[in-house]
Amino acid sequence: MKSIKDILFTIILAVCLILFIKAFILDFRVVASESMVPTLEKGDVILISKLAYDIFGINYKYPEPKEIITFEHNNELLIKRVKDVDSDGNFFVVGDNADNSVDSREFGYVDHDELDGKAIIKFNFKTFSIAFLNE
């Protein structure tokens, strides 16, 4: 039988591993608005790759047009589609539901430093479906 010390060590190690993965590799987000309808519906859960564009703060790639990204703007996490990338690596983003989206048409280009990650999979629990994004 394992000792309490061994069990606590295992739990602490597991929690640290989960936090590391969430902070630097993969994360989940719930879609909070209808700005990306029909691609993403309010309530969908998306899986985000945090390594898609940089590794531990080292930028190695820029988002390409048509990719769905997450980024922080004015302390709010947004999910939008990249429409254009300028020569400085800043990107113009829009929602798929253009009539119901606050995006670069209002706040301008998004800086690479604001980038959170690339949306790669969506889970819709209403229809019990899974779909790969950005294909």
CA distance 23 to 117: 11
What per-residue confidence (pLDDT) applies to 135? 59
Task: List the chain domain ranges.
Answer: 26-132
The predicted-structure confidence for 39-93, as pLDDT tens digits, reads as follows 999 999 999 999 998 887 778 888 999 999 999 988 899 999 999 999 888 999 9
Write out the CATH class of domain 26-132.
mainly beta
What per-residue confidence (pLDDT) applies to 119? 96
Q: How confident is the model at residue 24 (pLDDT cuts 50, 70, 90)?
A: confident
DSSP 8-state assignment for residue 33:
S
Find the mean pLDDT for residues 11-25: 92
The predicted-structure confidence for 99-135, as pLDDT tens digits, reads as follows 999 999 999 999 988 999 999 999 999 998 999 997 5
CA distance 30 to 49: 14
pTM of the model: 0.87
